[in-house]
Amino acid sequence: MRLAVGDVVRDRTDMVLGTVARIDRNTARRVVVHVPGSVTRAACAEDLEVVRRHTAPVTGRRQIAAGLVLLAAVVTGGCCAHNVRVLGGSWLLAAITAVGAYEVFAVAFRVVRRLAGPRRFRI
Protein backbone atom coordinates (compact mmCIF):
# COMPACT_ATOMS: atom_id res chain seq x y z
CA MET A 1 0.00 0.00 0.00
CA ARG A 2 1.21 3.50 -0.80
CA LEU A 3 0.27 6.31 1.58
CA ALA A 4 0.99 10.03 1.74
CA VAL A 5 0.43 12.50 4.54
CA GLY A 6 -3.12 13.84 4.24
CA ASP A 7 -4.74 10.71 2.77
CA VAL A 8 -8.09 9.78 4.29
CA VAL A 9 -8.06 6.21 5.60
CA ARG A 10 -10.47 3.88 7.40
CA ASP A 11 -9.30 1.66 10.23
CA ARG A 12 -10.81 -1.80 9.68
CA THR A 13 -10.76 -2.71 13.37
CA ASP A 14 -13.41 -0.17 14.43
CA MET A 15 -14.34 1.47 11.07
CA VAL A 16 -13.26 4.98 12.10
CA LEU A 17 -12.17 7.52 9.47
CA GLY A 18 -9.04 9.62 9.87
CA THR A 19 -6.25 11.37 8.00
CA VAL A 20 -2.66 10.18 7.85
CA ALA A 21 -0.49 12.40 10.05
CA ARG A 22 2.85 10.58 10.01
CA ILE A 23 4.31 7.39 8.61
CA ASP A 24 6.77 5.45 10.75
CA ARG A 25 8.88 3.40 8.39
CA ASN A 26 10.29 0.91 10.83
CA THR A 27 9.75 -2.80 11.34
CA ALA A 28 6.38 -2.34 13.07
CA ARG A 29 4.96 -0.46 10.01
CA ARG A 30 2.77 1.85 12.07
CA VAL A 31 0.91 4.87 10.72
CA VAL A 32 -0.13 7.79 12.93
CA VAL A 33 -3.73 8.76 12.12
CA HIS A 34 -5.70 11.87 13.17
CA VAL A 35 -9.22 10.77 14.10
CA PRO A 36 -12.22 12.94 15.02
CA GLY A 37 -12.12 14.48 18.47
CA SER A 38 -8.55 15.86 18.17
CA VAL A 39 -7.08 12.43 18.86
CA THR A 40 -4.08 10.85 17.19
CA ARG A 41 -3.40 7.16 17.34
CA ALA A 42 -1.05 4.66 15.81
CA ALA A 43 -2.56 2.03 13.58
CA CYS A 44 -1.08 -0.98 11.88
CA ALA A 45 -0.71 -0.53 8.12
CA GLU A 46 -2.51 -3.80 7.36
CA ASP A 47 -5.63 -2.55 9.19
CA LEU A 48 -5.99 0.59 7.04
CA GLU A 49 -7.76 1.05 3.74
CA VAL A 50 -7.50 4.19 1.64
CA VAL A 51 -10.76 6.07 1.23
CA ARG A 52 -9.54 9.22 -0.54
CA ARG A 53 -6.15 10.41 -1.80
CA HIS A 54 -4.95 13.87 -0.83
CA THR A 55 -4.32 16.10 -3.83
CA ALA A 56 -3.12 19.65 -3.66
CA PRO A 57 -5.21 22.22 -5.54
CA VAL A 58 -3.81 23.52 -8.82
CA THR A 59 -1.94 26.77 -8.24
CA GLY A 60 -1.72 29.73 -10.58
CA ARG A 61 1.93 29.04 -11.25
CA ARG A 62 1.19 25.51 -12.39
CA GLN A 63 -1.60 26.74 -14.68
CA ILE A 64 0.73 29.30 -16.23
CA ALA A 65 3.46 26.69 -16.68
CA ALA A 66 0.99 24.30 -18.32
CA GLY A 67 -0.18 27.05 -20.66
CA LEU A 68 3.38 27.97 -21.63
CA VAL A 69 4.31 24.34 -22.27
CA LEU A 70 1.19 23.91 -24.41
CA LEU A 71 2.01 27.04 -26.38
CA ALA A 72 5.62 25.93 -26.90
CA ALA A 73 4.45 22.48 -27.99
CA VAL A 74 2.00 23.85 -30.54
CA VAL A 75 4.51 26.35 -31.95
CA THR A 76 7.23 23.69 -32.19
CA GLY A 77 4.84 21.25 -33.86
CA GLY A 78 3.80 23.89 -36.36
CA CYS A 79 7.41 24.84 -37.13
CA CYS A 80 8.40 21.21 -37.62
CA ALA A 81 5.43 20.55 -39.91
CA HIS A 82 6.24 23.69 -41.92
CA ASN A 83 9.89 22.65 -42.30
CA VAL A 84 8.88 19.19 -43.50
CA ARG A 85 6.55 20.70 -46.10
CA VAL A 86 9.28 23.14 -47.27
CA LEU A 87 11.69 20.24 -47.69
CA GLY A 88 9.18 18.44 -49.92
CA GLY A 89 7.55 16.00 -47.49
CA SER A 90 3.95 14.88 -47.76
CA TRP A 91 1.10 16.11 -45.54
CA LEU A 92 1.11 12.79 -43.69
CA LEU A 93 4.79 13.12 -42.84
CA ALA A 94 4.25 16.73 -41.76
CA ALA A 95 1.34 15.71 -39.48
CA ILE A 96 3.34 12.86 -37.92
CA THR A 97 6.26 15.24 -37.31
CA ALA A 98 3.98 17.81 -35.69
CA VAL A 99 2.43 15.22 -33.38
CA GLY A 100 5.87 13.90 -32.45
CA ALA A 101 7.16 17.37 -31.60
CA TYR A 102 4.04 18.04 -29.50
CA GLU A 103 4.45 14.74 -27.63
CA VAL A 104 8.04 15.58 -26.68
CA PHE A 105 6.79 18.58 -24.71
CA ALA A 106 3.77 16.75 -23.31
CA VAL A 107 5.83 13.82 -22.00
CA ALA A 108 8.44 16.15 -20.50
CA PHE A 109 5.70 18.12 -18.71
CA ARG A 110 4.13 14.93 -17.31
CA VAL A 111 7.52 13.71 -16.05
CA VAL A 112 8.25 17.00 -14.30
CA ARG A 113 4.75 17.07 -12.79
CA ARG A 114 5.19 13.49 -11.55
CA LEU A 115 8.57 14.25 -9.96
CA ALA A 116 7.26 17.41 -8.28
CA GLY A 117 4.08 15.73 -6.98
CA PRO A 118 3.35 14.46 -3.47
CA ARG A 119 5.54 11.67 -2.13
CA ARG A 120 3.85 8.36 -1.45
CA PHE A 121 5.55 5.83 0.78
CA ARG A 122 5.20 2.08 0.42
CA ILE A 123 4.44 0.58 3.80
| pLDDT of 121 over the 70 cut | no
Whether residue 18 contacts residue 8, with contact meaning beta carbons closer than 8 Å, is answered with yes
Give the pLDDT confidence of 39-55 residue by residue, as tens digits: 888 888 888 888 888 77
Closest residue by Cα to residue 54 from 100, 85, 20: 20
- Count the helix, strand and coil residues of the chain and give each as a percent rounded to the nearest 5: 45, 30, 30
> Per CATH, which fold does 2-52 belong to?
SH3 type barrels. (2.30.30)
Give the pLDDT confidence of 79-92 residue by residue, as tens digits: 999 999 999 999 99
Give the pLDDT score at 23.
Answer: 82
Give the pLDDT score at 27.
Answer: 64
What is the average per-residue pLDDT within 4-24? 87
| pLDDT of 68 over the 90 cut | yes
Whether residue 34 contacts residue 18, with contact meaning beta carbons closer than 8 Å, is answered with yes
